[in-house]
Structure 1
């Protein structure tokens, strides 16, 4: 029996009345707590909601795995920096189930109780969310601190409540105050001893054995784990820091000593638990509504601390949605359901916005009124060809939608689970779409957005007791009916294959056609690139064969001409073959496609091949000229004229052959285009004319004339539009063609400009972020250096510390770091510097100190002439330092593979030129100017900024810098830079 019985005798009639009172078994709390929580994310969400209701701004879940900082056990903590609790709050509120302060939704006033923050609408409702802590592991320690009250510690193992013979009256929940966390080890021991008194009673008030045979195993487990449980140092440090960083040193920390396996498995980045991990992440991200973009600063984190790494679980699969993601939606819906079946709002389809309203023709009464529900929804096209986004935007949004896509529900800006999960398609989008995608356009997996419910507007849309969705009552059914029919009708109006209006479909077709054209163009580019790459592979072999054959023929000709009385007929064949090889030589030069810009690797290979080709020409040309002179001496004028005529004719023949080949290709392509044009034209004409007689015969009354006229006109317009989209543009393009304009070259130039602008924009964005980061780091370094320096000075005052070897190393290393930073920091402040006389010797010693470690590591000889040492430059010191650092830093990188590593600084007094030379890799001639272009770099992960800025800053100072391969400067054979005065005529 779960009640108490009392006997009461009333007045003289001696009437006996039995009075019974409910009694609660401890197991009821277990059923209300852990038994009502559907899963881990729901448990954490419930505890975070309680933290929010306590005016916390930071909500944290954190796993500490065994091995992290030497931990011997696993721990799981859930923390908030809210107002915390006093001992009376714990007794009168936290330990009282079903408290009604939240369900009444009474707003507090701004005071100490709200941590002087604006009053909040309570996220909790039923007064049992606190029991969720039982789901995550046992035993549990709660630490909580309220302003003006001591820190409170509560210890309990929720498994105790699984005993069905225990009444709540029999349960002891030990609580202890303490002044600070230094007392925690002592207090924790006392709490455990107090908790173990729960096992002193052998029988309950009804005389039953508290622990029966089938529960003895649970009894032993609880006692054993309580006895062994301890708080290790890293966990104690966490608690101390958590309260310290709270603004008012308040908050609550729940510590579960044996977290469930599901929590432990979340630390694994792959394996069997991957899907479960994804499920937890998708459930806990977007804890508060991120779609509104309002000032709602609640930070929620789930940190994993393992032996090898620490990371935030909620960001491990990418960032969640923000309001700005709606700007990227190809379809965007914003409006409101009024609670009676009507939607009023707008729909943006690509760049077109239309007002839209819909009313569901269902039965309406007061019982089905659910209140106003705003909706804001973005929709991502499944294929890039149907999207108006750029390639990068589409890929980024698609990956985010794939990870987090769905329709979310938020109540008072807090997420209602399970809505938004991939299996929470409560409006049945995918079920309908599987029947006919052409009719039911919307897919749950491609949408992202929210329905905005509140306790005030929608009081009858309530959570199930398990927190797994809304109760399926009349109001819920009315709302889902309205929403489902709204999306069905909207799809029929604009998005279905046979949509009533073509606004969306027309734009989609236009994008598809553009994408198709660009795809074909890219395929053509790719084919040309492949052909060019193949040619680069083949040309060296062709050159070797050409050279071997040419030299063999020259040798044979020379031998023939050496004979006395040689005749033309004896050398005629050799001369003919040499002439053919002379013409073929021009075909050995690779043809670079004009439609695209070759890669740097291709340019490098082309440069090296052209270098080989030039060397070959320079080698055989003198031999050919020598043989020609011998031929003139040996042969008669008649023979020479015959040979000249044959050579002349061979040039004519070669040119005619090239022209004829291209003319035939042109004629074939024109014939092919004309043939295809005629065929497509015929299909369009037939589509308009094939039903002509049938339509005419169907006209029996006057009214049909107008009807069929409109149909024919619409068909004509549709077919004409097809012709305008496919046939006419080709004709217009051909009309614009001219022999005086190289269309391929023009197109290639524009494409190269676009690629360059795109690349520069990406680099500029990265550079801007880098600049901001440098400024922040510079600011932080200044404070950090000051703190460390002061701490080192304080430590050095102790008599014993200075004698410790490690302290000496620490002090020396910090000094070196500080010196490096001092060398670097003036470079940040160029704008405020003044011109001064900078001696070459000072620059040299500055560089020696700056690159001290690298010079030593790579065994570099850093040489300098006396003329450079004595030379004086009038310039801002940071400017000249920056220039030399950039040039020498590059030199060190490109000398890594050189046998001899030499850097030399020189000054030529006669021409007033500074030389910075090295023995590393030589800069190809075609790159001598390019290396100073912004964002041009050949170094892996290089940004291509240093030399550009060096040139700009020197130009502002009246100087210039350029690279050269002239031997009089570049005597070390590597890279060579010259700094000189800018001539007035060059400005």
Structure 2
């Protein structure tokens, strides 16, 4: 009787050669962790050490589990049979649907690297199992599985170097035997031996270096470690990707979105997955699976269109379609592909968001559009999840399994959808969709009847949606009007805004040019020279009057010369005036330049133009006196008033003509538009009536009169509605022209209102940017605290080891003490993060003020000593307390003390003092005797962006005030307390 034998190469064929690549292999290991009831999976890739570590905190394996299940192919994880034991579960957690099916996912590890050390511990057991596998041996032809040795050890601690060395030695002895039996060649032996000897990953040493480390030596802990070394070179390429930043890397494509986290009310992710890529050997890493880089619920909710519903067991869709978040339709999409019989694929759900491809057609703001478009370019697609675990490769932007882009390239006009503009999920369940089976290599579903039906249902769905909602030709559905009209409205608005921005840019450029010319001319002294030249010319004019003998003629000449000089001076003054900006917002550096211009112009008025006019008056008086003629002061005054009056009339007449021309032009354009619209309507009516004459109703018995009438009337109505919409828009614009006189006889116009609203909008934008920056800063502090904490634990442990050495080696004692003192100082600073971290300290409590002072003393103690600053408090402060979150109050005190230290040092005084006070009403005061706050700054110090510090950002006091307001308090600058120059008050809001 003959029996089948299994070659060792079968494992290589079933494992490494079946899996599409390393990203797919990692995905398989994540699924295994899911099946093992893990909560956390940590992946660490140490490039320099050529080491890949994947850890989970699942139920783990005993030695028996490892030998009978992990090392056994085709385990029946989803098959109930009397001879198969059920896979281990965690009874303390909700039951999970197993993702593994064929028992070969574990062999995917061979794709990651040539050698793996497996360390595992079952829950509620003391024993740790370790096994070392070299995959190169399995690639050798001619060997059977029973010829290959897998060194296994049972331990009570993590494997140390001695254990690893003994396992390596056992492996080498096994290949020595194979070589002696002539089962392998010398070259094969040498290659395998060098790989085994190069393995230097020691779990007991590595454990303390890993973030979020799961201590398997603890009785309560369990889990599995995979340590792969050497690592296949392709992992680096899969991580780094191409130089084109728009494209996602292979790792990102395969591992992003392992759970659905993008749709509202999505199930809570089962696994918390972290992938750390240590590219250099300094402890820093890149977070490969950065969750913010993938689609979020916020992204999903702001999208232009949403499609949500259920496909029943017959493939018929019923759900809601929301277009431009404006109109929601209850919609049904029929599918006739299975003649209304039950499908093999089963019922499933869809939740899909879509963003228009052009910025001119979307309701998203610029920031959201840019962010979501960047994500869509990398990760856009329709993802498939089974029991909230992603099925690869569906969702990848380069896997167009629904032929979306293919249809778009063939029928660009009617194929609305684009794969890189959509993001959403298909939700499957094992119990409903068990006939959709994955390929062994995890390259999607097996393309059988169930998959073909599943695919055809979705293709029909997208095709029908495009027809029903997103067409604008004569065959368009009535439901498509909302999209077409809204898109046209957005495009028109965008074009109008674009024109407005273009005009604003032109005005701004002219404004900047005028400002720059003013500053350039003024700095070069050209303005002063020009005014001087006008005065010199006037003086020469007055000198010519001395030769006139007739006193009447001389008097008139004096008046004329004075008037002409004043006219020239005034004309030049007007030529250098930079008009008040209109039609665009002046902000930032340009606003500062304009304010500087106004100050400089005031100085010119005072020191140049006014003095020149005074000199002209003196010149007139001197000329009159020398000629001994009489000039009526009334006549001079009248001449001056006439000059000013004529100038004012001329300016107003010019503006009146301009305004009248603008009004006439608008009237003319409105008349032309209304005439054109009426002509269009008349032409349309004539065309309809002309067609009507050719219809022979009597000879056509089957004619549908209602349908025909609606068809003809719709043509007229569509033109009429278009005209009405256009005219309504024009009327609203004309009605928007607004002015009103106030009590001070000044006119308020809609341009001033728009400008004020624009400035308010810009301020709000700046505030939003500041808030985002602060949120990122807060998150950074949280991350630093979390990550640094684990590092500190490691250093503490190492210090204990060093202490043992220093106790027996006096040469090390000094080194140990120095390191210990500096570390304790650093550790103290780490502890100061705790009250600032909302997530760690989000608890309202009664905080004693002396605790706050102790915190501040710990934080700033070294700076107080270095700068010789006394830090005192009153008895009232010592008795006081404040109620709220530490994370709200501590940063405020930190900011006030930090500012006080800065300005005390700037003051240069010797008795520098910061004093804390408190009163019975709960008010707290922080005073110092540094530089006084200038009067003009007292109303500005709480404004965002205002700072007198060099390189100051002007955020501290503004943020402190806002944080306190959310806690029911306010921050005030009050009259300085005794022996102080500056006092801030923290008081309850009324």
Matches within 5 A, 1:328-477: 328-349=302-323, 350-364=325-339, 368-477=343-452
Q: Establish whether residue 683 from structure 1 lines up as the match of residue 680 from structure 2.
A: no
Residue 487 of structure 2: SS of its match in structure 1?
helix
Shift of 1:244: 1.0
2:733 to 709, 727, 730: 730
Equivalent pairs, count: 910
2:31–2:100 contact (8 Å) kept in structure 1: yes
Residue 60 of structure 2: SS of its match in structure 1?
coil
1:86–1:149 contact (8 Å) kept in structure 2: no
Residue 145 of structure 1 is matched in structure 2 by 121
Shift of 1:633: 4.8
Residue 294 of structure 1 is matched in structure 2 by 267
Q: Establish whether residue 226 from structure 1 lines up as the match of residue 226 from structure 2.
A: no
Q: What 5-or-longer segments of structure 1 have no aligned partner?
A: 1-18, 67-72, 839-844, 857-861, 908-913, 963-975
Residue 281 of structure 1 is matched in structure 2 by 252
Q: State the Cα RMSD in Å.
A: 5.0
Q: Establish whether residue 546 from structure 1 lines up as the match of residue 535 from structure 2.
A: no
CA, structure 1 residues 877+609, in 2 after alignment: closer, same or farther (shift >3 Å)?
farther
Residue 672 of structure 1 is matched in structure 2 by 665
Q: Which moved more, 1:648-657 or 1:158-167?
A: 648-657
Matches within 5 A, 1:698-709: 698-699=692-693, 700-701=696-697, 703=705, 706-707=709-710
1:36–1:466 contact (8 Å) kept in structure 2: yes
Q: Matches of 1:326 and 1:515 in 2, distance apart?
A: 23
2:44–2:276 contact (8 Å) kept in structure 1: yes
Residue 817 of structure 2 is matched in structure 1 by 807
Q: Establish whether residue 163 from structure 1 lines up as the match of residue 140 from structure 2.
A: yes
CA offset digits 1:861-901 (Å, max 9, x no partner)? x9x9xxx99999999899998796365466489x7xxxx97
Q: Matches of 2:352 and 2:11 in 1, distance apart?
A: 40
Residue 249 of structure 1 is matched in structure 2 by 221
2:900–2:928 contact (8 Å) kept in structure 1: no
1:944 to 938, 950, 955: 955
CA offset digits 1:181-202 (Å, max 9, x no partner)? 2x53222222222223433456
Residue 641 of structure 2 is matched in structure 1 by 648
Residue 230 of structure 2: SS of its match in structure 1?
coil
Q: Matches of 2:186 and 2:576 in 1, distance apart?
A: 92
CA, structure 1 residues 631+833, in 2 after alignment: closer, same or farther (shift >3 Å)?
farther
Residue 631 of structure 2: SS of its match in structure 1?
helix
Matches within 5 A, 1:161-310: 161-181=138-158, 183-201=159-177, 210-211=183-184, 216-231=186-201, 235=206, 237-238=208-209, 242-244=213-215, 248-266=220-238, 268=240, 271=243, 278-290=249-261, 291=263, 293-307=266-280, 310=284
Residue 42 of structure 2 is matched in structure 1 by 60
2:897 to 851, 875, 885: 885
CA, structure 1 residues 227+277, in 2 after alignment: closer, same or farther (shift >3 Å)?
farther
CA, structure 1 residues 252+407, in 2 after alignment: closer, same or farther (shift >3 Å)?
same
Residue 690 of structure 1: SS of its match in structure 2?
helix
Q: Matches of 2:761 and 2:80 in 1, distance apart?
A: 61
Q: Establish whether residue 123 from structure 1 lines up as the match of residue 99 from structure 2.
A: yes
Q: Matches of 2:565 and 2:777 in 1, distance apart?
A: 62
Q: Matches of 1:980 and 1:25 in 2, distance apart?
A: 82
Residue 500 of structure 2 is matched in structure 1 by 521
Shift of 1:822: 8.9
Q: Establish whether residue 659 from structure 1 lines up as the match of residue 676 from structure 2.
A: no
2:847–2:881 contact (8 Å) kept in structure 1: no
Shift of 1:321: 2.3
Shift of 1:44: 0.9
Shift of 1:131: 0.6
1:55–1:115 contact (8 Å) kept in structure 2: no
Q: Which moved more, 1:812-821 or 1:395-404?
A: 812-821
Q: Matches of 1:326 and 1:871 in 2, distance apart?
A: 55
Shift of 1:774: 7.9
Residue 244 of structure 1: SS of its match in structure 2?
coil
Shift of 1:556: 6.3
CA, structure 1 residues 63+447, in 2 after alignment: closer, same or farther (shift >3 Å)?
same
CA offset digits 1:188-230 (Å, max 9, x no partner)? 22222222343345699xxx9523xxx6533321122213332
CA, structure 1 residues 324+510, in 2 after alignment: closer, same or farther (shift >3 Å)?
same
Q: Establish whether residue 617 from structure 1 lines up as the match of residue 589 from structure 2.
A: no
Q: Matches of 2:374 and 2:876 in 1, distance apart?
A: 55
Q: Matches of 2:70 and 2:859 in 1, distance apart?
A: 67
Residue 35 of structure 1: SS of its match in structure 2?
coil
Matches within 5 A, 1:835-854: 851-852=863-864
CA, structure 1 residues 343+888, in 2 after alignment: closer, same or farther (shift >3 Å)?
same
Shift of 1:94: 1.1
Q: Which moved more, 1:607-616 or 1:242-251?
A: 242-251
- The TM-score with structure 1 as length reference comes to 0.79
Q: Matches of 1:138 and 1:781 in 2, distance apart?
A: 33
2:241–2:250 contact (8 Å) kept in structure 1: no
Residue 757 of structure 1: SS of its match in structure 2?
helix
1:931 to 929, 941, 950: 941
Q: Establish whether residue 491 from structure 1 lines up as the match of residue 503 from structure 2.
A: no
Q: What 5-or-longer segments of structure 2 have no aligned partner?
A: 548-553, 699-704, 883-888, 915-926
2:621 to 618, 632, 640: 632
CA offset digits 1:693-714 (Å, max 9, x no partner)? 4432423448488446623542
Shift of 1:767: 5.3
2:974 to 942, 960, 979: 960
CA offset digits 1:435-484 (Å, max 9, x no partner)? 22331111111111111122211121111122101111112112211211
1:281–1:313 contact (8 Å) kept in structure 2: no
CA offset digits 1:782-810 (Å, max 9, x no partner)? 99999999999999998769961662475
Q: Matches of 1:791 and 1:60 in 2, distance apart?
A: 23
CA, structure 1 residues 229+871, in 2 after alignment: closer, same or farther (shift >3 Å)?
closer
Shift of 1:20: 2.2
2:117–2:130 contact (8 Å) kept in structure 1: yes
Q: Matches of 1:783 and 1:162 in 2, distance apart?
A: 41
Shift of 1:159: 1.7
Q: Establish whether residue 86 from structure 1 lines up as the match of residue 62 from structure 2.
A: yes
1:820–1:850 contact (8 Å) kept in structure 2: no
